[in-house]
Structure formats: structure tokens, C-alpha cells
């Protein structure tokens, strides 16, 4: 099968490399960043010239792009998927996208005989490297079934959620919960430090107690090591809580914890930390209280 992969950054890069390493599919890649392209061509991928070439020359197209506007531009903009992909092409968007955007793009593509499935992923860059990420897919079940082995080459928990958009809904709910966990972790870690207990021992306790979660583990590991280099940029997490709150607004569902977490991220972004890792939510507390929580 000929696969074209657009957007091979922190997540797309390792996902694409797992397809290259674990299958015999022919993979062509495109990214605005030449270093990201090289990391895939070094393993045997072909470098595409632009989105148009990827869209026109492959049976399957994948995107892993930062913002909904980026997906929209690549899918529907000039030189994009709509203009160039052939009828019968199957398109998986692995990005965390807005529900309305997924539906609008899929409808336009369908008119041209292109099948889009929303297939956001969870598990972070570590899971993407290890091929253990969850992939939650919404859309045409037959297309899902036909491509399941390929999806399983880079994800360990691949689930068809239902109609188009259901993957995106699951992803937004998951991420809102994960970031609420991180915001709670920031409070707890600072409280423990200010009260004078050893942060490493507190982490050991919580990791084996009822306050534990995978989000807490990831967050506390980064904070304690002072590692705020983006693996999951705060700007992208902020996008996710924004999209979750937008959905809760539309449905009239109260999400006070999601809103508080979103505002904590807003403070961090206001401090210029948008391109740092999501764990830099902790820097808001550390700056306000002039106390770093490290080991």
C-alpha cells in the first residue's frame, strides 16, 4: 500500500517511523521542517515535494498537524488533499482536531469520493516511540477494518468508536481529564514542598497511592527534573482544553475543573511558556511562590 504522511513532528515522526519499520508499505513524507523529514527518509521513506504530491500519489493519507487551522489548510486549502487526492483515497487525521472541523472537512472530501476518518491518538511521545499509543477512530467501519493492521503497526490500543467525530470526542474528554490531573498535581506538589516534605518521597507515596495517575507520573517526573522542553507543547494542550470546553458549552455540560485548568494554562501562556512542555503549568505556582520543586 502507498501511504503519504504529512506532519512528522513530535508525534507524527515516531508514528510514521513505526509504519516504516514494521510494515512493507511504501511511505512518502512531507513536513515544513527538513530535520523531521530526514529522520524518516533515513529509515527508508521517500521525501515528498509538497502536500499536493503526497495527496495525489497515495492510497492512504495521514496527517498529524498542530492546530485545527493547519489541518483545514492541508485538507481543503490550495494545493491540498481535496484538490489533489484521487477518489477512493482514505484519509486518517491523527491530529487532535475540532469536532466541527472534522465534520466539515469530511463532508467536503466525501463529495470527491475521499473517505476521512478522525483518528486522534493518546500516549505521548514515549508511547508513539514504543508503538503503544491508543488510537481512537471515528468514521467508515469498512475503511477502519481494511486498515486496522496498518494502524496496529504504530498503536497498541486501536478502537473504532463509532461514526465520524467520535474519536475526536473521546480524545477531547481524555485530554481534559489528563490536564485536570496535572493541574491537581501542581497544587499538591507545591503544597507538599511548602510544608517541608521531600518531593521525591512524596512522588513515591503518591505513585503507590490513590492520588496516582499516568498524567501525574508524567507531570511529576518532568517537574522534579526541571525538564520543561516540549514533548507536548502547552499551546497544544491549551488547544485541547479549549476544544473540550467549546464542546461542553455547546452541550450545556458543566466542566468547572476543565475551565480552571484552562485558566491555569492561560496564566502559563501569559508568562511566555506556550512553546514549553505542558508540565510548565507548574511554573505558575513556582514563580508566584518563588519556590522550585526539584530533586
Least distance to ligand NAD, CB of residue 108, Å: 17
Q: Binding to ligand NAD (CB under 6 A): which residues in 209-268?
A: 231-232, 236
For 88, phi then psi, to 5°, come to 100, -15
User: What gap in Å lies between CA 248 and CA 251, rounded to an integer?
Assistant: 5
Count of alpha carbons within 13 angstroms of residue 65, beta-carbon side: 24
Indicate which single residue of 18, 28, 36, 261 sits in contact with ligand NAD (rule: CB under 6 A): 36
- Known active-site residue 171: yes
Indicate which single residue of 56, 57, 66, 188 sits in contact with ligand NAD (rule: CB under 6 A): 66
Indicate which single residue of 62, 65, 169, 215 sits in contact with ligand NAD (rule: CB under 6 A): 65
Residue 94 grid coordinates: 491523527
Under the criterion CB under 6 A, does residue 41 sit at the interface with ligand NAD? no
Residue number, 114 or 128, with CB nearest to ligand NAD: 128
Under the criterion CB under 6 A, does residue 125 sit at the interface with ligand NAD? yes
Under the criterion CB under 6 A, does residue 295 sit at the interface with ligand NAD? no
Q: Binding to ligand NAD (CB under 6 A): which residues in 87-116?
A: 95-96
User: What gap in Å lies between CA 226 and CA 36, rounded to an integer?
Assistant: 26
Residue number, 30 or 179, with CB nearest to ligand NAD: 30
For the residues of 210-254, what is the DSSP string, one character each?
TT--HHHHHHHHHHHHT--S-SSBHHHHHHHHHHHHHHHHHHT--
Q: Which of 47, 217, 191 is nearest to 124 (CA)?
A: 217
For 150, phi then psi, to 5°, come to -65, -45
Residue 101: burial class (beta carbons within 10 Å; 0-12, 13-18, 19+):
buried
Under the criterion CB under 6 A, does residue 9 sit at the interface with ligand NAD? yes
Q: Which residues participate in catalysis according to the annotation?
A: 171
Which residues lie near ligand NAD (CB under 6 A)?
6-12, 30-33, 36, 51, 64-66, 70, 73-74, 95-96, 121-122, 124-125, 231-232, 236
Amino acid at each position: 500500500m502507498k501511504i503519504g504522511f504529512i506532519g512528522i513532528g513530535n508525534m507524527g515522526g515516531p508514528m510514521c517511523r513505526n509504519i516504516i519499520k514494521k510494515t512493507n508499505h511504501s511511505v512518502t513524507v512531507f513536513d515544513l521542517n527538513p530535520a523531521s523529514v530526514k529522520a524518516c527518509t533515513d529509515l527508508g521513506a521517500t521525501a515528498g515535494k509538497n502536500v499536493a504530491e503526497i495527496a495525489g500519489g497515495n492510497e492512504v493519507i495521514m496527517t498529524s498537524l498542530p492546530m485545527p487551522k493547519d489541518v483545514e489548510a492541508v485538507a481543503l486549502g490550495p494545493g491540498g488533499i481535496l484538490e489533489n487526492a484521487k477518489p477512493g483515497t482514505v484519509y486518517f487525521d491523527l491530529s487532535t482536531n475540532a469536532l466541527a472541523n472534522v465534520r466539515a472537512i469530511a463532508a467536503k472530501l466525501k463529495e470527491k469520493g475521499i473517505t476521512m476518518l478522525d483518528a486522534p491518538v493518546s500516549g505521548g511521545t514515549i508511547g508513539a516511540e514504543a508503538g503503544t499509543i491508543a488510537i481512537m477512530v471515528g468514521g467508515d467501519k469498512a475503511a477502519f477494518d481494511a486498515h486496522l493492521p496498518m494502524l496496529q503497526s504504530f498503536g497498541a490500543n486501536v478502537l473504532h468508536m463509532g461514526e465520524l467525530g467520535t474519536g475526536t470526542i473521546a480524545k477531547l474528554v481524555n485530554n481534559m481529564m489528563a490536564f485536570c490531573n496535572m493541574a491537581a498535581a501542581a497544587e499538591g506538589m507545591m503544597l507538599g514542598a511548602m510544608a517541608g516534605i521531600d518531593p521525591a518521597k512524596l512522588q513515591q507515596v503518591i505513585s503507590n497511592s490513590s492520588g496516582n495517575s499516568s498524567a501525574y507520573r508524567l507531570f511529576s517526573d518532568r517537574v522534579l527534573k526541571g525538564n520543561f522542553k516540549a514533548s507536548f507543547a502547552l499551546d497544544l494542550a491549551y488547544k485541547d482544553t479549549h476544544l473540550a470546553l467549546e464542546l461542553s458549552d455547546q452541550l450545556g455540560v458543566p466542566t468547572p475543573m476543565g475551565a480552571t485548568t484552562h485558566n491555569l494554562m492561560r496564566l502559563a501562556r501569559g508568562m511566555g511558556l506556550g512553546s514549553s512542555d505542558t508540565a510548565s503549568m507548574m511554573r505558575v505556582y513556582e514563580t508566584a511562590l518563588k519556590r522550585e520543586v526539584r530533586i
